[in-house]
Amino acid sequence: MDYLVAVLLPQLLHGFVFGAALGLLALGLTVIFGLLGVMNFAHGELYMLGAYAGIVVIGVTQSFWVALVVAPILVGVLGALTEATMLRPLYRREPLYGLILTFGLALVLREGARQVWGGDMRRIPAPFTGSTPLLGMTYPDYRIFLLAISCALLLAIWLFFTRTRAGVLVRAAVQDAEMLDGLGVDVRRLFTLTFAGSAALAALAGLLLAPVFTVYPQMGVEMILLAFIVVILGGMGSLGGSVVAAFVIGIAQSLFSLWMNPQRVAIAIFGIMIVVLIVRPRGFFGREGVLE
Amino acid sequence: MSRTLGWRAAPVFAALAALPAVPGMTDYYLLLAFDALLFGAVAMSLDLLIGYTGLVSFGHAAFFGLGAYATAILLERGILSLWASLGFAVVIVGLYALVVSYFATARRGIYFALLTLVFAEVVFTFFRYTQTFGGSDGIQGVPPPELLPGVTLDTPMRNYYLIVVYLALAWAACRVLVGSHFGKVLVAIRENEDRARFLGYNVQRYKMAACMISALLTGLGGALYPGRAAFATPDLLLWTVSGEFIIMVMIGGLGTLTGPVIGGAFFIVLQEKVSSYVDWYFIVIGAVLILIVLFMPKGLLGLRRLLGARPWRATA
Amino acid sequence: MKRVTSLALLVAVALAVFLAAPAVAQQKVVKIGDLGSKVGVFEGYGKYQSMGIQLAVEEINAKGGVLGHKIEVIAEDDDTKPAPAVRKAEKLILQDGVKLIIGAVSSGSTMAVMDVTKKYKTIHWNSVSCAEFMRTTKFHKYYFSNQPDSRQQANGLAKYILDKMGKKVYIFYTDYAMGQSDGRQFKTALERLGGEVVGVAGAPLDTKDFSPWFGAINASGADVLFLAFAGTDSLRLMTQLHSFGMTKKYKLAGIDCFLLQQDLAAIAEPMEGFVQLNHFSAYNPDPNMQAFNQKFKKKFGVDANIAAGAYDAVYFWKTAVEKAGSFDSDKVSAAHEGLCTDATHIGRQCIRTEDHQVVMDMHLYRVEKGKNIPIARIDGKDAIGAAMVGQDPLKGFTWEIKKK
């Protein structure tokens, strides 16, 4: 019982916080995948740019909260431009071109950020620094806030997709874009806006996590692999699946590192994924036949 | 077509063989040529999979790295025969490729890419943390291998000729394969997998075979690497290295075999030369990749058509 | 006709350039190579290495160079990976004909480059990387170092921790070459001196969230946390430890790669009270060091840090070359052994003959209000440890904890 309260519960909490963060990152990735069939390798760099944009906005306005609104918009605009100029010409081609193009884009953005802001690590101070006694330890308030806002965002996104016309349209486009086009919906604009939204979400995740995870040009490339795993586990294109998978990965990583050395933790995480892919290739909630 | 191309390649290989005799050729340029041709050959093996079969592997670094580790492990333990290490590499890479290709070829497109990526990450993690194989430092400072007892591959010149021979053999193998019935089936699978299946071909078996051949050629290339570099480190297995292999194929031109060889050599020389002058060469490489995907999906070889040469691909 | 003229003109110009070239290069030139990480996690270290080399070379050239040769530096980036490091080292030696290579920054690269410098018999100085294999199993005749390796640093720090900070220590390390090496050597040193290691844990390189390890640390009953991290990991770890209130709960200590001087300002509050070993710090009160730092700051506008130790490496090499009277590697290597020079950043230092390691004093600092306050100086002879050329430094080592 003591073990449960003193060790397992805190570990679960750590896992939840990390899982929520991962969920925000993976959600944008899975929407883009479902809609455009592009596995966006540059998603991690959009996440990174969100944090740097945040630093710039905070530098001008001195406010974390303003940055939380403005930085995702800036990155969202960049996302829209990227989609319109680079990805749109590729939709008629095989998905692998999108994969490779975004890989190149990731190189450019990462190195560009390093040229502009330098390779040194930056830190964004958390907007509040207190801590709360929780489960026998002093738990930082910002992490509690992070968990709360991530869950709120995930809920809001779910409501958006189920309760708003725009959300329903996006989901319809995931199902069958041509049909939607035939029904007179401007699918091109829908694609651009969705990509912008996905980029903004990545940027938001980058900025929200910056006070905990710090900011540097390679921060995205290190997260993207985990985000890929989450998307695959959850079932490509499945929103709910991604969220569930994010929590599974976050908690698994947290619990495993209690009992295993880092090597085994990493292999265990990859192992989970390989097993899922073999036993249930479409992931937890993926629809049958999507790009299998 | 394949026969004429075969004859046309002869002067190219003759020129490569004569390269060390060029005045002003230094040991450094021979070593650079070694890397350029080695990674060219690796890109060519990958092209067999991407260009001809339509399967994008994001895990080829694992085949290359496993081959390198196989050689380094033997050399470190005093087994110096090149043939032993090549044999060992074939066994190790072959076993691993069998598992990967069995599971990965059951899936298409993105799933294939990501499965190969994740399998490769497992191999990376294994070597990265296993102290028996040097952990994150890898195996370093291995002695040069012996071609025959007493004939040590210890000079840049000998290593260079070794890689020219490897490239020639790999190229010939790929050519024959692509020109054969087997190669035609692969192209048919790339163009329309379902149709190939309806025609009665066991599609997965063909895909697995292509994957295995590509993996083994890459692994053999990897096995030749420690003889020149004296090490095998986990960095060779990183998924970004797999990404670089794909870049090489794309630069050269998908489904052309010759193109990726040029692409690989171009990439190595570009990286080596540009990084000596500017520290933002990754922007150059990334931009080159984006421009090629957007405007020159046929790669550098595609340029030939612009210049009025004959169409370069007869197989598709 | 026009074409012939222009062709002739071209040939004439080419000939003129060809003939003029030796005339321009009146003074004889000797090249040295600066190999380091100019991009990536360790670029901070690579940049300071280049600055250190540049400063030394300018001073030496202003005084007439070495053996009548002007020194020319050729800088190369190894991308913090062994494969490019080897290629660049070969380029420097075979193509540029450098007589000295300084580098690399990461231990993995440095060890890979050691094979190249051994093969091509080139003098090789390491001023940054600190794995324990370089002066033991990987050692070769042409290799020299003025970076204290993990063993030296652990010897320096373990005694202070036991005397002044606490007996029960938890070792938390970054699970790759540098961190493992630091963790191992520290555990060995601490246990030899009678301290108790109450727990060890490794976190992978580039860990985002360290909190899953905090539970075990809190359950261990430690007084002191020994942290073997570097670069961005250190900053992130300190931020997170602080937010969980653990920087106040434990006494913290680390070795000299833990945090570069210029990063301290960003996390001054979490670092309060941190004891860091540093063999090269702008806060060293030594008058020679202060004079050096003034010089450095005047030129580059920033304080020097550990990577600027490459400055000393250039001077050691120059002194050895002058003693040998030649650039011949074997002669220069022999001249290095037992060599002392007054030209280093901190005055007189000597190279030990047995393992080519510079005997250097270790300095301990405690962070107070974002400043490094010197608290102890450990004599170089006490820290350096026995020469173990060819012996496995890990023999008999185990991560297992001896229960008391």
- For residue B24, what is the nearest residue in chain C, using CA coordinates? C95
Q: What is the pLDDT of residues A66-75, one digit of tens each?
A: 999 999 999 9
pLDDT of residue C171: 95
Which residues of chain B have a CB within 8 Å of the CB of A266?
121, 125, 129
Compute the mean pLDDT over every residue in chain A, rounded to the nearest whole number.
85
Contact A291 B110 (CB under 8 A): yes
What's the CATH code, domain C151-278+362-384?
Answer: 3.40.50.2300
Q: Residue B6: pLDDT above 70?
A: no
Which residues of chain C have a CB within 8 Å of the CB of B38?
none
Query: In which element (H, E) is residue B94 found?
Result: helix B82-104
Which residues of chain B have a CB within 8 Å of the CB of A267?
122, 125-126
pLDDT band at B166 (very low <50, low <70, confident <90, very high): very high
pLDDT of residue B181: 93
pLDDT of residue C319: 95
- For residue C90, what is the nearest residue in chain B, using CA coordinates? B28
Q: Residue A115 phi/psi, 5° resolution?
A: -70, -40
pLDDT band at B311 (very low <50, low <70, confident <90, very high): very low
pLDDT of residue C150: 87
Q: Residue A36: pLDDT above 70?
A: yes
pLDDT band at C12 (very low <50, low <70, confident <90, very high): very low
Q: Cα separation of C63 and B119, whole Å?
A: 58
Q: Residue B31: pLDDT above 80?
A: yes
Average pLDDT over residues C202-221: 85
Let me know if A172 is exposed, middle or buried by CB neighbors in 10 A (0-12, 13-18, 19+): middle
Chain A neighbors (3+ CB pairs < 8 Å): B, C
Question: Between B107, B114, B283, which is nearest A111 by CB?
Answer: B283
Contact yes or no for C109/C82 (Cβ under 8 A): yes
Average pLDDT over residues B106-124: 85
Which amino acid, one-letter code, is at B184? K
- What's CA B135's distance to the chain center, in Å? 25
Question: Between A123, A138, A262, which is nearest C203 by CB?
Answer: A262
Which ranges constitute the DSSP H helices of C125-255? 150-160, 177-192, 211-219, 231-243, 246-249
**Range(s) of chain C covered by CATH 3.40.50.2300:** 28-148+286-359, 151-278+362-384
Question: Between B122, B282, B288, which is nearest A267 by CB?
Answer: B122
pLDDT band at C24 (very low <50, low <70, confident <90, very high): very low
Written as six digits, the tokens of A271 are 């192992």
Question: Between B54, B243, B286, which is nearest A111 by CB?
Answer: B286
Of A31-35, A146-150, B70-74, C159-163, the range with the lowest mean pLDDT is: A31-35
pLDDT of residue C349: 92
Q: Cα separation of A257 and A254, whole Å?
A: 6
Q: Cα separation of C44 and A39, whole Å?
A: 33
pLDDT of residue B240: 86
Contact yes or no for B119/B214 (Cβ under 8 A): no
Q: Cα separation of C114 and C284, whole Å?
A: 31
Q: Cα separation of A177 and A174, whole Å?
A: 6
Q: What percent of chain C has pLDDT over 90?
A: 46
Average pLDDT over residues B243-254: 89
Q: Residue A291: pLDDT above 90?
A: no
Return the SS3 of A193: helix
Contact yes or no for A188/A12 (Cβ under 8 A): no
pLDDT of residue A2: 66
Q: What is the pLDDT of residues C215-229, one digit of tens each?
A: 888 888 899 999 999
Q: What is the pLDDT of residues B173-209, one digit of tens each?
A: 999 999 999 999 999 988 888 888 888 889 989 999 9
pLDDT of residue C309: 86
Say if A288 falls within a structural domain: no
Q: Residue B218: pLDDT above 80?
A: yes
C269 touches chain A (CB under 8 A): no
* Pairwise pLDDT comparison (B286 vs C17), residue with the higher score: B286
Q: Cα separation of B52 and B65, whole Å?
A: 23
Strongest mean pLDDT among B195-199, B249-253, B298-302, C122-126: C122-126
pTM metric for this prediction: 0.86
Q: Residue C20: pLDDT above 60?
A: no
Of A2-6, A206-210, A251-255, C316-320, the range with the lowest mean pLDDT is: A2-6
Q: Cα separation of B140 and B309, whole Å?
A: 47
Q: Residue C170: pLDDT above 90?
A: yes
Give the residue among A87, A28, A39, A83 at the shortest CA–CA distance from A243. Answer: A28
Q: How many CB atoms lie within 10 A of CB B258?
A: 22
C214 touches chain A (CB under 8 A): yes
* Pairwise pLDDT comparison (C298 vs B302), residue with the higher score: C298
Which residues of chain B have a CB within 8 Å of the CB of A270?
118, 121-122, 125
Q: Residue B310: pLDDT above 80?
A: no
Q: What is the ipTM of this complex?
A: 0.83
pLDDT band at A112 (very low <50, low <70, confident <90, very high): very high
Q: How many CB atoms lie within 10 A of CB A74?
A: 20
C31 touches chain B (CB under 8 A): no
Q: Cα separation of B71 and B67, whole Å?
A: 7
Contact A263 B285 (CB under 8 A): no
C43 touches chain A (CB under 8 A): yes
A172 touches chain B (CB under 8 A): no
* Site of tokens 């009953």: C221
Which residue range(s) make up the domain with A53? Answer: 2-279
Total tally of structural domains belonging to chain A: 1
pLDDT band at A287 (very low <50, low <70, confident <90, very high): low
Contact yes or no for B175/B5 (Cβ under 8 A): yes
Q: How do the domains of chain B map onto residue ranges?
A: 2-237
Give the residue among C172, C225, C176 at the shortest CA–CA distance from C200. Answer: C172
What's the CATH code, domain C28-148+286-359?
Answer: 3.40.50.2300
Is the bond preceding C104 in cis, omega lying within 30 degrees of 0? yes
pLDDT of residue C40: 65
Q: How many CB atoms lie within 10 A of CB A179?
A: 12
A281 touches chain B (CB under 8 A): yes
CA B104 vs CA B41, B100, B126, B198, C67: distances in Å = 23, 6, 20, 21, 63
Q: What is the pLDDT of residues C25-79, one digit of tens each?
A: 467 899 999 998 876 667 778 888 999 999 999 999 999 999 999 999 999 988 8
CATH code for the domain in which residue A92 is found: 1.10.3470
pLDDT of residue C10: 45
